[in-house]
Amino acid sequence: MTPRRFDDFVAGETIDLGSVKLSQDDIIAFAEDHDPQPFHTDPAAATSSIYGGLIASGWQTACLFMRLLAANLLNESLSLGSRGLDDLRWLAPVRPGDRLTASIEIKKTRVSTSKPDRGVVTWRGSMRNQDGVEVMTIDATFMIGTGRT
Amino acid sequence: MTPRRFDDFVAGETIDLGSVKLSQDDIIAFAEDHDPQPFHTDPAAATSSIYGGLIASGWQTACLFMRLLAANLLNESLSLGSRGLDDLRWLAPVRPGDRLTASIEIKKTRVSTSKPDRGVVTWRGSMRNQDGVEVMTIDATFMIGTGRT
């Protein structure tokens, strides 16, 4: 398969990235490693929190998105990494048993002025749950090789 | 111990969050789960990438920061979670053997107008490596309980 190059990314395109389901055990395991707050790790304590029950760490939602983005787009592209992101919003709680579906919309592209072998793609990502509720948005960029040197 | 309440967060304060060291195995294990791109998972492929060797996923740097923030500040505070972040920058590569030290500076605080039991704290976080190089910055908010209802 020919990998996607910078020129293959066009503003306005929406790319589906697939979906992933997460269990209570997934939520607790991630949080114990990376975000050990009681409303992410302890179902009993979470019940008396403002969330009324266990919720996933927002960083887990972001990492699930990243995995789908890497596996279903970047690893089929001339991906060169990213310098960061501009905005990340956790809009609604993610709970045990939720299935999250990811997509990105390409917003803008520009060839690097200093390095003609790559371009910068600006995009908005979205995660929705099984009820169609948007649980996360992310505005960010990645660098993609042009295939020219 | 009395937990930190909203009133205990004051603009201008810098809070040290400790440090963490990561190995090549840590980098590969995280990336295989969350960001399986060759320059994060495959030392040989990474050598011929633009990074010249294996680098940690930026999401791993963010998760290591989050863990230090949760363990050394939020779990000693009336933490109520976060709605997101405004800006995240990966400024320099993180490589096997690096030790990363985290801190946050409190930028602004305001009591919620709709919910007087909590306030929003705006902060900037920073991660530096063992050479003092800043590898990540993050501008974000968290909600903290006031202890009043």
Phi and psi, residue B138, nearest 5°: -145, 130
Q: Do A87 and B86 touch (CB under 8 A)?
A: yes
Strands A84-90, B84-90: pairing is: antiparallel
Mean pLDDT of A4-10: 97
pLDDT at A125 over 80: yes
Q: Average pLDDT of A61-88?
A: 96
Of A92-96, A144-148, B17-21, least confident by mean pLDDT is A144-148
Q: How sure is the predictor about A131, in pLDDT bands with cuts at 50, 70 and 90?
A: very high
ipTM of the complex, rounded to two decimals: 0.94
- A100 Cα to chain B: minimum distance (Å): 15
A1 touches chain B (CB under 8 A): no
Residue among A38, A67, A86 minimizing CB distance to B35: A67
**Per-residue pLDDT in tens (0 to 9) along chain B, 149 residues:** 789 999 999 999 999 999 999 999 999 999 999 999 999 999 999 999 999 999 999 999 999 999 999 999 999 999 999 999 999 999 999 999 999 999 999 999 999 999 989 999 999 999 999 999 999 999 999 999 999 87
Q: Can you tell me the distance from the alpha carbon of A131 to that of B59, in angstroms, rounded to the nearest whole number?
A: 27
DSSP string, chain A: -PPB-GGG--TT-EEEEEEEE--HHHHHHHHHHH---HHHH-HHHHHTSTTSS----HHHHHHHHHHHHHHHTGGGBTB---SEEEEEEE-S---TT-EEEEEEEEEEEEE-SS-TTEEEEEEEEEEE-TTS-EEEEEEEEEEEE-S--
- Residues B98 and B21: beta-carbon distance below 8 Å: yes
Q: Which amino acid is at A32?
A: E
pLDDT given for residue A35 in this prediction? 96
Interface of A with B in 98-137 (CB under 8 A): none
Concatenated DSSP letters for chain B?
Answer: -PPB-GGG--TT-EEEEEEEE--HHHHHHHHHHH---HHHH-HHHHHTSTTSS----HHHHHHHHHHHHHHHTGGGBTB---SEEEEEEE-S---TT-EEEEEEEEEEEEE-SS-TTEEEEEEEEEEE-TTS-EEEEEEEEEEEE-S--
Q: Is B8 exposed, middle or buried (0-12, 13-18, 19+ CB in 10 A)?
A: middle
Considering only alpha carbons, which residue of chain B is nearest residue A59?
Answer: B63
B26 touches chain A (CB under 8 A): no
- pLDDT (0 to 100) of residue B5: 97
Judged by CB atoms closer than 8 Å, whether chains meet at A63 and B59 is answered as yes
CB contact under 8 Å between A34 and B85, yes or no, is: no
Percent of chain A with pLDDT over 70: 100
Which pLDDT value is given to residue A148? 83
The pLDDT assigned to B130 comes to: 98
Question: Which domains, and CATH codes, for chain B?
Answer: 6-21+56-145 (3.10.129.10)
Does the beta-carbon distance from A59 to B59 stay under 8 Å? yes
Tell me what pLDDT residue B149 has: 72
Work out the end-to-end distance of chain B between its first and last CA atoms, rounded to an integer number of angstroms. 21
> What integer pLDDT is reported at residue A149 of this predicted model?
72
pLDDT in the model for residue B1 = 75
**Residue A136 pLDDT exceeds 80:** yes
pLDDT tens-digit readout, A11-56: 999 999 999 999 999 999 999 999 999 999 999 999 999 999 999 9
